[in-house]
């Protein structure tokens, strides 16, 4: 398992990838790993690794030794996530935290998970269409959280506020539940009844800044690589 020092090293390596390459930051990559591990269909590193670097992102490293070190840390973290989702492992996501307010920033994690889902959409649809209402609800909830993170949710205002507050605790339970479906085991459902979309309140568009939108601070950088990392 990666040490705290190695996690910090991986964080710095991913942050060093040029913004224009479109690579992932650490919480995003962590969510991506979770999505890959619990995916109903196996996805090889040869397919998903380029998405971590982004377009030509690996070229930012000065030597092949640096590329190899980054690759090693990436694969080891992927294996750590896989191990944590293998009984009797204990899964825990990596989130960012706003140092000014102490608020947990879960949105990048969810966007990473959604990118993994996007690689095999038909496989994820099998979960939604299955008889396992708990796992299906968790998949739909992940999509709902992603829409909130991107500022595209049409859920009622009350539901968005509640989900935003409870997402950090809901996410690991949902990952375990989906993993249970994929691995053929049962798991408890964390899906809250109040999050149903057919509520009487008027729809509300989330005011959160999308991860790829310009940062509202005016720096000209994408939010996820500016104030979204603080």
Nearest residue to 183 via CA among 117, 118, 135: 135
Section 152-164 average pLDDT: 95
Task: Using the structure block, give the residue that is written with the tokens 């000014």.
Answer: 100
Higher pLDDT, 17 or 185: 17
Count Cα atoms within 13 angstroms, Cβ side, for 61. 17
Report residue 226 as tokens: 């500016």
Confidence of residue 210 (pLDDT cuts 50, 70, 90): low
CB-based contacts of 69, cutoff 8 Å, min separation 6: 13
Higher pLDDT, 9 or 214: 9
Nearest residue to 77 via CA among 120, 41, 118, 32: 32
**Cα separation, 126 vs 124, whole angstroms:** 5
Report residue 60 as tokens: 């930012």
**pLDDT for res 18:** 85
**Cα separation, 22 vs 114, whole angstroms:** 15
Confidence of residue 192 (pLDDT cuts 50, 70, 90): very low
**pLDDT for res 227:** 57
CB-based contacts of 44, cutoff 8 Å, min separation 6: none
> 75-133: per-residue pLDDT in tens?
999 999 999 999 888 999 999 998 888 899 999 999 999 999 999 999 999 999 999 99
Confidence of residue 58 (pLDDT cuts 50, 70, 90): confident
Report residue 53 as tokens: 């670097």
**pLDDT for res 186:** 42
> 19-57: per-residue pLDDT in tens?
888 899 999 999 999 999 999 999 999 999 999 988 877
Helices (H), the chain: 4-16, 26-38, 45-53, 64-84, 107-119, 121-128, 133-149, 157-183
**Cα separation, 123 vs 113, whole angstroms:** 14
**pLDDT for res 54:** 87
Q: Say which range, 61-70, 124-133, 191-200, 212-221, has the weakest mean pLDDT.
A: 191-200
């Amino acid at each position: 398992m990666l040490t705290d020092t190695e996690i910090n090293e991986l964080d710095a390596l991913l942050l060093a990838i040029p913004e224009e390459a479109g690579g992932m930051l650490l919480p995003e990559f962590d969510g991506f790993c979770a999505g890959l591990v619990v995916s109903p269909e196996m996805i090889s590193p040869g397919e998903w690794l380029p998405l971590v670097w982004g377009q030509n992102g690996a070229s930012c490293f000065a030597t092949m030794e640096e590329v190899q070190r980054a690759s090693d840390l990436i694969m080891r973290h992927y294996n750590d996530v896989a191990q944590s989702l293998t009984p009797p492992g204990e899964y825990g996501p990596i989130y960012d935290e706003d140092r000014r307010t102490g608020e947990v920033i879960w949105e990048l994690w969810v966007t990473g998970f959604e990118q993994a889902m996007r690689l095999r959409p038909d496989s994820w649809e099998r979960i939604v269409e299955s008889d396992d209402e708990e796992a299906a609800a968790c998949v739909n909830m992940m999509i709902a959280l992603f829409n909130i993170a991107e500022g595209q949710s049409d859920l009622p205002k009350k539901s968005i506020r509640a989900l935003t507050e409870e997402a950090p605790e809901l996410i690991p339970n949902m990952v375990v539940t989906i993993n249970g479906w994929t691995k053929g085991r049962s798991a408890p459902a964390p899906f809250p009844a109040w999050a149903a979309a057919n509520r009487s309140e008027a729809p509300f568009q989330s005011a959160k800044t999308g991860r790829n939108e310009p940062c509202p601070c005016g720096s000209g950088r994408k939010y996820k690589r500016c104030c979204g990392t603080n």
